[in-house]
């Protein structure tokens, strides 16, 4: 069941976007300045859900020492960053309701992003031509994945890949920055002097709740238009390293979480996938902290002098296959 608000309404309003609609309606109705004549995707794959910025990005993030935070249960998931000696945790209890945090950490402008329908958490350097920009939510999806837009030129960017898919920069990519998706407890263990994001007052009352109750145990994804995989459950959680995001990697690599729970640490090529218990699913029960344990995932390159964190996602099989149709996924044998 999906609980109240814009997400239920979106099901009733599910419509594909044509190039004519984009040019004639989204320009005047939503005042888009995007150049819809330039795109690297089939515009009909885009689904119109809500208006831009109805899911508001957090553009003025505030933090406190994580060691002083007592209101966040230790099993709740956070996106964790460590840049130039500065460590910060961005809890999914807040990202669930904002999807983008525009921040500067260790002197680096970043967009910390989370798409609940794909469970994809990714961090990008938020610069264009060397100048910082902020990102917002378009209210549109492609293969159930968030389409972001930059507020400088209003290009549309695919959150999964960091690629501009519509607009003058179509085909360009943002630089992805390695980040963890781990429990708050594990963040405190790894970064005892780190900071944690505070709730944005606009949606503070919703903090810690999940509007997609039982989503990750349903058989089919929400608001998805495309072909579903037949050799694996579409909603199977996987750890996924995309070669397009990880420099120097020849092939994309994906492993199911049940496989990792039994076989971690798991080595494949230069990568080591690690699993540990202690992280609640953000997409199970109404209260995130009451959800089942899906474990922590970390992925490192082992062909360096020291293990080096890579850009990785913990997502669903349907999402990875929508973008990488020939992706092989390591899974338990039946």
End-to-end CA distance of the chain: 29
Whole-angstrom distance, CA of residue 192 vs CA of residue 151: 35
Q: What is the pLDDT of residues 106-116, one digit of tens each?
A: 999 999 999 99
pLDDT value at 10 more than 80: no
Q: What is the pLDDT of residues 269-327, one digit of tens each?
A: 999 999 999 999 999 999 999 999 999 999 999 999 999 999 999 999 999 999 999 99
Mean model confidence pLDDT for the chain? 92
Q: Using 50, 70 and 90 to split pLDDT, how confident is the model at 26?
A: low
Structure tokens at 27: 């320009």
Whole-angstrom distance, CA of residue 152 vs CA of residue 159: 17
> Which residue, 97, 164, 91, 70, is CA-closest to 126?
164
N residues, the chain: 334
Whole-angstrom distance, CA of residue 191 vs CA of residue 181: 14
Whole-angstrom distance, CA of residue 139 vs CA of residue 264: 38
Whole-angstrom distance, CA of residue 278 vs CA of residue 294: 8
């Amino acid at each position: 069941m999906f609980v109240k608000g814009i997400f239920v309404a979106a099901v009733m309003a599910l419509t594909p976007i044509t190039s004519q609609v984009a040019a004639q309606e989204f320009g005047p109705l939503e005042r888009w300045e995007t150049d819809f004549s330039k795109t690297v995707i089939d515009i009909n794959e885009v689904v119109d859900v809500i208006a831009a910025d109805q899911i508001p990005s957090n553009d003025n993030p505030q933090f406190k020492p994580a060691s002083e935070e007592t209101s966040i249960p230790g099993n709740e998931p956070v996106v964790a960053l460590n840049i130039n000696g500065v460590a910060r945790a961005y809890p999914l209890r807040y990202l669930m309701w904002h999807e983008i945090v525009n921040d500067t950490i260790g002197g680096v402008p970043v967009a910390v992003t989370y798409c609940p329908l794909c469970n994809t958490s990714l961090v990008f350097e938020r610069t264009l031509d060397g100048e910082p920009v902020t990102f917002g939510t378009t209210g549109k999806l492609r293969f159930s994945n968030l389409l972001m837009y930059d507020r400088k030129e209003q290009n549309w960017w695919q959150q999964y890949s960091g690629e501009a898919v519509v607009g003058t920069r179509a085909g360009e990519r943002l630089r992805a920055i390695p980040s963890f998706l781990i429990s708050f407890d594990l963040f405190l263990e790894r970064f005892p002097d780190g900071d944690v994001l505070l709730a944005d007052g606009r949606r503070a009352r919703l903090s810690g709740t999940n509007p997609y109750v039982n989503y990750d145990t349903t058989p089919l994804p929400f608001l998805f238009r495309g072909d579903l995989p037949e050799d694996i459950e579409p909603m199977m959680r996987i750890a996924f390293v995309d070669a397009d995001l990880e420099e120097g990697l020849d092939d994309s690599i994906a492993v199911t979480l049940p496989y990792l729970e039994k076989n971690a640490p798991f080595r494949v090529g230069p990568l080591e996938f690690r699993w540990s218990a202690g992280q609640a699913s953000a997409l199970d029960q109404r209260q995130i902290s009451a959800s089942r344990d899906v474990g922590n995932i970390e992925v490192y390159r082992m062909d360096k002098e020291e293990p080096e964190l890579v850009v990785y996602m913990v997502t669903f099989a349907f999402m990875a296959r929508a973008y990488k149709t020939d992706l092989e996924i390591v899974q338990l044998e039946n």
